[in-house]
Amino acid sequence: MRTIRMRRTTRGMRTAAGAVTAGVFLLLGGTMSPAVADSSPSASPSDDGSDGGDAPTEAGTSFRTATEIEQGQKATASASTGDYLYWSFPADAGGRPTVKATVKLPDSARSSATWQIDVYDGLRRRQACQYGAQTRVAGADAGSVDLSCTLRTVRAWSEQWANDPLPGTYYVRLTATDLGTADLGVPVNAEIQVDSKHIGGSAAVDGSLAEPLVPGIAMTTEESDEAEGSDDSPTAVLSSLEPDDGWASGWWSDRWVWTAVGGMLAALAGVGGYALTRGSGRPSQVPPGA
């Protein structure tokens, strides 16, 4: 009788384990797709890196006139050495943006200038590059210069004294430094592209900004509240680009998934431990005459 009871207990444990395992796979399959969707760029570039002719072909000359580009777009611009070229792009929480720039120099007038890219956040604070060639010297026989800058992971919230990357508009500045008089005015062609990698729950923090660091968004919010219902309310947003699924799209992280998986495994361990330690539930039969 006890052997039969133990077989039934083992069969019940296998059934419970199968049910919990199936639930874990269903949870992982149904919840990992939003995290994968967050990692996709906001634009859909073609195979050659362009987006079908809609990418910008010029750059701004200051923060206020920075040309807006979406992540995944390859923007181009024609300029001269000595010019300051500015672009802006949106970055949301949980992403790690990478800025890549290529400066093509003409064969007729090449200079040994030092090219540099700098990245600033919505508060115009210069952000340090986690890795990448942020500064490079163009050799006398170089036809192009490749630059890159990978930022730290954008955080949803940070202390006021910290310089952590926060959600909002980011600015890219490309320029040549250490120029001589003879090197000024050399025509060049610049290409720039921004991509972002979604990091996930390892970079999640407990907190979020009330509004992303987009220039003018606070002023627009106040004006819209005061002029609610009117069609002629002014707008003051200096940057119109945002992620496809809106700001603060990084509220989801795989931390939720692993928390649920840990809870299921703990429940399975509790069921298995109880089934192994509770015994047959019946008093042992004493043989007659014992």
- Across 45-49, 119-123, 232-236, which has the greatest mean pLDDT? 119-123
Q: Which pTM was predicted?
A: 0.67
pLDDT: which is higher, 42 or 265: 265
Residue 260: predicted pLDDT: 83
Distance in angstroms (rounded) separating the CA atoms of residues 90 and 70: 7
The model's pLDDT over 38-75, given as tens digits with 9 standing for 90+, comes to: 333 333 344 444 444 588 999 999 999 999 999 999 99
Rg of the chain (C-alpha set): 29
Distance in angstroms (rounded) separating the CA atoms of residues 196 and 150: 9
State the average pLDDT for the chain: 75
DSSP state for residue 248 in the 8-state scheme = T
Residue 256: predicted pLDDT: 72
| Residue range 250-262: mean pLDDT, rounded | 71
Query: What fold is seen in the domain 38-251?
Result: Jelly Rolls (2.60.120)
pLDDT over 50 (residue 34): no
Query: Measuring CA to CA, which residue among 224, 93, 85, 237 is closest to residue 152?
Result: 93
Distance in angstroms (rounded) separating the CA atoms of residues 63 and 36: 32
- Across 9-23, 106-120, 221-235, 247-261, which has the greatest mean pLDDT? 106-120
**Domain boundaries along the sequence of the chain:** 38-251
Residue 59: predicted pLDDT: 94
Distance in angstroms (rounded) separating the CA atoms of residues 63 and 77: 16
pLDDT over 50 (residue 186): yes
Residue 272: predicted pLDDT: 87
pLDDT: which is higher, 153 or 222: 153
- Across 49-58, 78-87, 136-145, 208-217, which has the greatest mean pLDDT? 78-87
